[in-house]
Amino acid sequence: MEDPVAEYTSRIQRQEMEIKCLSDEIEKLKNPEALVTSSQLDELREENAKLKYRLNVLKRSLQEERSRCSKNMTNINQRLQEIFGDAIQAAYPDLESPPLSVAPNQQAKFGDYQCNSAMAMAQMMKSRGLKVSPREIAERIIQNIPDNDMIQKTEIAGPGFINVHLKKPFVSKLLTNLLVNGVQPPPLQSRKKVVVDFSSPNIAKEMHVGHLRSTIIGDSMCRLFEFLGYDVLRLNHVGDWGTQFGMLIAHLQDKFPNYLTVSPPIGDLQAFYKESKKRFDEDEEFKKKAYQCVVRLQSKEPEFIKAWNLICDVSRMEFQKIYDCLDIKIIERGESYYQDRMTDVVKEFEERGLVQLDEGRKIVFPPGQSIPLTVVKSDGGYTYDTSDLAALKQRLFSEKADIIIYVTDSGQAGHFQVIFAAGQMIGWYDPKVTRVEHAGFGVVLGEDKKKFKTRSGDTVRLMDLLDEGLRRSMDKLKEKERDKVLTPDELTKAQRSVAFGCIKYADLSHNRINDYVFSFDKMLDDRGNTAAYLLYAYTRIRSIARLANIDEEALRRAAETTQMLLDHEKEWKLGKCILRFPEILRKILEDLLLHTLCDYLYELATTFTEFYDSCYCVEKDRQTGEVVKVNMWRMLLCEATAAVMAKGFDILGITPVQRM
């Protein structure tokens, strides 16, 4: 028997050759020299329309063949957009860039998806002097939809909405593919290089709640890009260079004069920093010594480099405790990494005539910007502007990044706007080709709606916050008497899952652009759109098969042999909701707003509850409690729901547990 993959590959190759031939013919027909008389023109236009229709049919057929060979999840919305895009093109070949709008239908009675292009197309035609009703446009679009394996039927509603009903065998097949192959990302056209700059605390200062958002949001963005198949570089642009290191090294030399031979016992680096800052502000002799230390550090004298490394290492150990709790993987590449590159960056701007002198400073004024960049201070030193320009260039040219994302608070939006404008001005990148973006976020507020502080008014230490989360999550688990049914190891895992999962989800479930109120009471509430609710829901779903005595091997075999009927309206609703996962990820890829994924997971969990309340998966004897009947395709719907939830949790950086 012939290998089916080889057979499909051969058919695909034949279709691709025919597509090329048809495309060539269409291009020839566009040649004005071929248009001799009006009768010939009409004939050619008719032939052109037929060729385009055949071309669209072949493209759809080719896509369907590929999907049969693919283990990837299918983006239903994207497939429908391609089908309707081709139908619109075939129906109105002379209409340039017609609007295309396809979305899930909000009311199930009207169908599964809806194409809303006809009304916008009518407006476009009206502006060009053509009066056509949206319903007439919708009818013509439907007439040009080629036969496909997705659409059961289409209906025109209201002024020109096209309601789309999906074929149940198509949805059933996609669910089977998900169960057999796991939750696989949609096909990736090309594997791009992505650099994500996030977290970025300052050496010698403790991480505070302000760093929490950058760390959590940046990590989740990285996880999304990684799942989708991109080559991701996670960078921690720590503040590890500058004049503050002069006072730290000077204080180190005074307090621990034998630091070169005996490692100094700096336990509390924050207190050490405050001591040195106090001396710097009050003692002129110490201030002079600090400035001398900066010069010698910048000259890279060995003993000063060692002192600098000692201070950095103490901070790194503290940062790592936070990263271990939150399961963050990140590569440190601080400001010091770019020091040797800054001179070349300034020289490049000077050689291009882009540098102006302003009271001893060297500034760069990118077009369209009201604030300049200071690339060299009046004392000859470099600035954050110089460092960020050097970092941008290194990421573009050395890392060869196709996408660069900076995850910092929204207060830095203006700064990055000027940095990006300068990079474009000097020709480092074209924004149409390379995506360079600032993903800003709002501040963390206390329950009083003011900036999150301790009772004494100090900034909240991040480690204290995480410890408080662990304490409260254990209280919650004991309140539910989980300590009486879980082993000590299971209880500890559940504690960490709830504590850190709730902190992350509380952040990610809000639109990152907005400020959000930090409240342990709300995030640990197991009602509503919280991690606590979703984690408990996930654990319950995973327990259904276990309580029915069905193991993973039995589920795997059933996935390969059991057809999902999806006859009940709640089965159909859940099946479609599960398969919207690739659509959700694509949207987040475009706008980098991760709360969309949180909203989807909450919708999936509540849709599952509706299904489970209406559809028996396991029937038990009321007297003995023994399992008497198992509906296997419904068990598989449970499994598919759990699989998508688990992948969603993974992208959010949340670790669910099997028992809670």
pLDDT score, position 35: 46
Helices 168-181 and 552-561: crossing angle in degrees, nearest 10, is 150
Summarize the confidence of residues 4-33 as an average pLDDT. 63
The CA-to-CA distance between both ends of the chain, in Å, stands at 50
Burial class, 553, CB count within 10 angstroms (exposed 0-12 / middle 13-18 / buried 19+): exposed
pLDDT > 50? residue 568: yes
Length of the chain in terms of residues written: 660
Where is 286: in which H helix or E strand? helix 284-298
Pairing status of strand 331-332 against strand 231-236? parallel
pLDDT over 90 for what percent of the chain?
Answer: 73
Q: How far apart are CA 333 and CA 235, in angstroms?
A: 6
Over the Cα atoms of the chain, what is R_g? Answer: 30
pLDDT score, position 1: 45
pLDDT > 60? residue 4: no
Phi, psi of 208 (to 5 degrees): -120, 180
Q: Are 346 and 385 in contact (CB under 8 A)?
A: no
Q: How far apart are CA 366 and CA 423, in angstroms?
A: 9
Q: Are 355 and 362 in contact (CB under 8 A)?
A: yes
pLDDT score, position 297: 92
Kindly compute the dihedral angle of the four CA atoms of residues 311, 317, 323, 328, in this order, to the nearest 10 degrees. 80
Three-class DSSP category at 63: helix
Average pLDDT, the chain: 90
Return the top range by mean pLDDT from 16-20, 513-517, 551-555, 571-575: 571-575
Q: How far apart are CA 482 and CA 500, in angstroms?
A: 18
Least confident of 138-142, 302-306, 459-463: 459-463
**pLDDT tens digit sequence for 406-427:** 999 999 999 999 999 999 999 9
**pLDDT tens digit sequence for 198-209:** 999 999 888 888
Tokens representing residue 478 in the block: 């004991």
**pLDDT tens digit sequence for 60-82:** 665 555 555 578 999 999 999 99
pLDDT > 90? residue 13: no
Summarize the confidence of residues 574-594 as an average pLDDT. 97
pLDDT > 60? residue 9: no
pLDDT > 60? residue 34: no
DSSP string, 212-229: HHHHHHHHHHHHHHHHTT
Q: How far apart are CA 542 and CA 536, in angstroms?
A: 10
Q: How far apart are CA 315 and CA 311, in angstroms?
A: 7
Per-residue confidence at 266, pLDDT binned at 50, 70, 90?
confident
Q: Which residues of 109-118 are buried (b: 16+ CB within 10 A; e: fewer)?
A: ebbbbbbbbb
pLDDT score, position 590: 96
Q: How far apart are CA 153 and CA 142, in angstroms?
A: 10
Torsion-angle region of 654 (φ positive above 0: left; ψ -120 to 50: alpha; else: beta): beta
Phi, psi of 448 (to 5 degrees): -85, 5
pLDDT > 60? residue 5: no
Q: Are 495 and 472 in contact (CB under 8 A)?
A: no
Give residue 591's identity as a one-letter amino acid code.
D
**pLDDT tens digit sequence for 429-445:** 999 999 999 999 999 99
Residue (of 301, 323, 319, 347) closest to 239 by Cα position: 319
**pLDDT tens digit sequence for 83-123:** 999 999 999 998 989 999 999 998 888 999 999 999 999 99
Q: How far apart are CA 253 and CA 248, in angstroms?
A: 9
Per-residue confidence at 228, pLDDT binned at 50, 70, 90?
very high
Instruction: State the CB neighbour count (10 A cutoff) for residue 537.
Output: 22
Instruction: Tell me, rounded to whole angstroms, the distance of Cα 504 from its chain centroid.
Output: 14
**pLDDT tens digit sequence for 326-339:** 999 999 999 999 99
Summarize the confidence of residues 540-557 as an average pLDDT. 91
**pLDDT tens digit sequence for 468-524:** 999 999 999 999 999 999 999 999 999 999 999 999 999 999 999 999 899 999 999
pLDDT score, position 28: 66
Kindly compute the dihedral angle of the four CA atoms of residues 32, 35, 41, 43, in this order, to the nearest 10 degrees. -110
> Could you tell me the pTM of the whole model?
0.88
Least confident of 19-28, 231-240, 397-406: 19-28
Residue (of 188, 304, 173) closest to 250 by Cα position: 304
